[in-house]
């Protein structure tokens, strides 16, 4: 358990000095982004010889299941829920604001159906039992609206705090006797090990629905065995001897039950129907959720992340991730946890269970003739910026929409000392909410002030936290293109935390690189305004008067392009993970081939490191694509087009990277 927190209904403030205390309390292990990978090669041929009996069986079965899962996700479209749903979860733990908890309690007062699931850390050599980690709850308001809660049990507040009492009140309301609790499997088994947290009382669950059993019965009723199936062949019994007399008044307790054919335990006859009708061959087998989704919707519910470190702290607010890879893995685990409750819900509505008949949406079509006669209103756009946009007058009225810009000098992603300079706090204000809720797209031009004082990894945590908040509260910003973050401009005005321009520039470069990587899982766009050090004014931080047009023009260009994009359509399916990987590999291969065509080479001294080269290229205002590894004291700089290559070739003398120039460069930097 986590120590008590001081949640008071306000937005949680982040204290970097407490980072280590918010890391996972029970395990220092980070979650695994691909825990199935090491199982794929398990076969009879490479099974360790010391494994025998049940251990050998389990070893091989794990490999078989991993390969089947991989094959499934490669062949079928991935599981998806209707796109008009908001599927961003509300994380609940010791840093959840009391105001958020109170709002959830009020919003679900009329909800009667809840779908639940749980995740636990697997046993370890030091812990024989699974460790309860996450309780997922979906409140079904109607077919088109749900609320998803992810309760991180290893990060709960102390039981004496008001925050814990609110979480307990929320859970007791959900698991109250009048509500229907839906689970895939027996609810008592699912929640048994989670009782220890005192968030519910199993005895109060009076209306459980085991959807697994219900689905199995429904499938068997609608898919009878074929006539040639062995289960349809009645077993014949030997004729009784006609000479045996009827015996009456016998104390049957003295007789062996084996003498009575009717008392013989029933022998289960294995089904021989095609797998397309009955994939399970034993009468008592229950369907897995993955197979139910496969057979019902022809979709793949990826189960590769099942056995993982779920107690790692999924919410970016917990600051338990230390690298971009850690953040991406947590995002994947969050998606997995959400899908594990969306899948039963999708089946529940598909089966038209009597519980949800009142919640089914009608398909009535309303007349739109009066609306069609009026021109659609122009979209609105919003920019939150630090001082880099203070010179731009707002609002900007264009033919494609209205752009509102709020620029605040000193603005950071997070400021624990001044909430008026904290982007996360400001975005929760009423003023900001009015802009965010109506915006077709937003730009966040923030970063310089944060990166002058904090490591890039810390700042990226705040970015992830802020993006998660926006997706969670503003459905209009769910599209990847709707939220854009501007790559941080060069800055030579160093701060005591970074005592030289070299270290500050390296921190900014690292942030911009990782910001791009992080955008894939967190669904936002990165904009590069192509600002170089030569564009800066004498303060070495802001744009010179002659170059301020860069910011203005790039903002207009982005929103104009966004306005020309067609609205998102209802997609029947998404690419599978494997298909996306193959597509990206092809793109990367084409890009590498293209970049190899536009290359310049320069001899380079051993003192020069990639970060020095990158910084020098920025000084020369050179746009490059890649810096491959230095080979035999030669660096090959790759470009995306001949124009950039020719410009670099003119600017860089052949001896630019020799030892003498390095010492000159280092002297200037220090």
Q: How far is Cα 281 from Cα 267, in angstroms, rounded to an integer?
A: 14
Task: Report H helices in 565-641.
Answer: 577-597, 610-619
The model's pLDDT over 245-286, given as tens digits with 9 standing for 90+, comes to: 444 443 444 434 443 344 444 446 788 888 888 899 887 888
Q: Which residues pair with 139 in a beta bridge?
A: 114, 147
Q: What is the pLDDT of residue 588?
A: 63
Alpha-carbon distance of 607 to 501, in angstroms, equals 18
610-619 vs 501-522: helix axis angle to the nearest 10? 100
| Alpha carbon distance 501, 536 (integer Å) | 14
Helix/strand/coil for 613: helix
Helix boundaries (H) for 523-576: 549-564
Architecture of the domain spanning 378-566: 3-Layer(aba) Sandwich (3.40)
Q: How far apart are CA 315 and CA 295, in angstroms?
A: 33
Q: Which of 312, 323, 337 is nearest to 461 (CA)?
A: 323
Q: How many CB atoms lie within 10 A of CB 483?
A: 24
452, 491 contact by CB (below 8 A):
yes
C-alpha 424: how far from chain center: 20
Q: How large is the angle between the packed helices 456-473 and 324-350, nearest 10 degrees?
A: 20
Fold of 81-212+306-357: Nucleotidyltransferase; domain 5 (3.30.420)
Ramachandran sector of residue 53 (left: φ over 0; alpha: ψ -120 to 50; beta: rest): left
Nearest to 133 by CA among 343, 338, 337, 341: 337
Kindly list the domain boundaries of the chain, sorted by start residue: 81-212+306-357, 378-566, 592-669
Predicted TM-score of the model (pTM) = 0.58
HEC secondary structure over 402-433: EEEEEECCCCECCCCCCHHHEHHHHCCCHHHH
Report the C-alpha dihedral over residues 233, 237, 242, 244, rounded to 10 degrees: -160
Q: What is the DSSP string of 333-392?
A: HHHHHHHHHHHHHHHHHHTT-TTTGGGPPP------HHHHTSPPPPPEEEEEESGGGTTS
Indicate the SS3 state at residue 396. Answer: strand
Please report the sign of the dihedral spanned by the C-alpha atoms of residue 191, residue 196, residue 197, residue 201.
positive
Q: Which residues pair with 208 in a beta bridge?
A: 181
Give the domain 592-669 fold.
Alpha-Beta Plaits (3.30.70)
Q: Which residues of the chain have pLDDT under 50?
A: 1-26, 84, 236-240, 242-267, 362-374, 570-573
Q: What share of the chain is helix, strand, coil (3-state, %, to 5)?
A: 45, 15, 45
Largest alpha-carbon pair distance within the chain?
118
Dist CA 632 CA 229 (whole Å): 70
């Amino acid at each position: 358990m986590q120590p008590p927190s001081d949640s008071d209904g306000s937005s949680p403030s982040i204290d970097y000095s407490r980072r280590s205390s918010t890391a996972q309390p029970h395990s220092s292990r980070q979650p695994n982004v691909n825990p199935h990978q090491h199982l794929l090669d398990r076969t009879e041929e490479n099974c360790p010889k010391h494994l025998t009996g049940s251990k050998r069986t389990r070893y091989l079965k794990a490999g078989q299941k991993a390969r089947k899962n991989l094959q499934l996700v490669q062949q079928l479209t991935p599981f998806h829920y209707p796109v008009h749903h908001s599927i961003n979860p509300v994380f609940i733990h010791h840093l959840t604001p009391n105001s958020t908890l109170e709002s959830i309690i009020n919003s679900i007062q009329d909800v009667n159906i809840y779908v639940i699931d749980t995740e636990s850390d697997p046993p370890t050599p030091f812990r024989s039992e699974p460790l309860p980690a996450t309780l997922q709850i979906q409140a079904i308001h109607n077919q088109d609206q749900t609320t998803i809660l992810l309760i991180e049990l290893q990060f709960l507040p102390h039981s004496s705090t008001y925050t814990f009492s609110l979480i307990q009140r929320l859970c007791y309301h959900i698991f109250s006797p009048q509500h229907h609790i839906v689970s895939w499997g027996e609810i008592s088994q699912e929640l048994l090990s989670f009782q220890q947290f005192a968030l519910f009382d199993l005895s109060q669950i009076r209306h459980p629905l085991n959807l697994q059993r219900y689905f199995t019965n429904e499938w068997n009723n609608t898919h009878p065995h074929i006539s040639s199936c062995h289960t349809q062949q009645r077993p014949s019994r030997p004729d009784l001897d006609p000479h045996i007399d009827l015996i009456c008044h016998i104390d049957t307790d003295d007789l062996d039950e084996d003498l009575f054919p009717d008392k013989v335990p029933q022998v289960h006859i294995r089904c021989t129907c095609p797998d397309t009708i009955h994939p399970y061959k034993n009468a008592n087998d229950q369907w897995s959720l993955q197979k139910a989704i496969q057979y019902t919707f022809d979709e793949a519910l990826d189960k590769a992340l099942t056995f993982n470190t779920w107690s790692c702290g999924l919410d970016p607010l917990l600051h338990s991730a230390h690298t971009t890879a850690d953040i991406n893995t947590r995002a994947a685990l969050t998606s997995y946890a959400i899908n594990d409750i969306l899948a039963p819900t999708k089946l529940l509505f598909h089966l038209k269970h009597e519980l949800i008949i009142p919640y089914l949406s009608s398909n009535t079509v309303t007349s739109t003739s009066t609306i069609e006669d009026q021109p659609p209103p122009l979209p609105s756009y919003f920019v939150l910026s630090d001082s880099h946009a203070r010179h731009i007058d707002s609002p900007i009225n264009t033919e494609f929409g209205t752009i509102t810009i709020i620029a605040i000098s000193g603005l950071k992603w997070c400021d624990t000392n001044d909430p008026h300079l904290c982007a996360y706090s400001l975005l929760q204000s009423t003023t900001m909410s009015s802009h965010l809720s109506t915006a077709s797209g937003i730009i966040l031009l923030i970063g310089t002030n944060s990166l002058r004082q904090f490591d890039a990894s810390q700042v990226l945590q705040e970015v992830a936290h802020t993006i998660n908040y926006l997706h969670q509260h503003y459905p209009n910003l769910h599209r990847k293109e709707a939220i854009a973050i501007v790559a941080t401009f060069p800055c030579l005005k160093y701060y005591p935390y970074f005592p030289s321009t070299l270290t500050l520039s390296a921190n900014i470069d690292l942030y911009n690189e990782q910001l791009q990587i992080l955008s894939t899982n967190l669904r936002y766009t990165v904009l590069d305004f192509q600002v170089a050090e030569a564009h800066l004014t004498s303060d070495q931080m802001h744009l010179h008067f002659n170059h301020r047009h860069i910011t203005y023009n790039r903002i207009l260009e982005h929103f104009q392009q966004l306005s020309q994009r067609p609205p998102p359509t209802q997609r029947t399916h998404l690419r599978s993970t494997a298909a996306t990987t193959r597509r990206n590999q092809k793109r990367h291969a084409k890009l590498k081939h293209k970049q190899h065509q536009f290359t310049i080479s320069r001899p380079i001294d051993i003192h020069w490191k990639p970060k020095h080269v990158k910084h020098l290229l920025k000084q020369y205002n050179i746009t490059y694509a890649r810096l491959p590894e230095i080979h035999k004291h030669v660096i090959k700089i790759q470009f995306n087009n001949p124009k950039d290559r020719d410009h670099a070739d003119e600017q860089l003398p052949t001896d630019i990277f020799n030892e003498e120039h390095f010492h000159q460069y280092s002297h200037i930097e220090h």
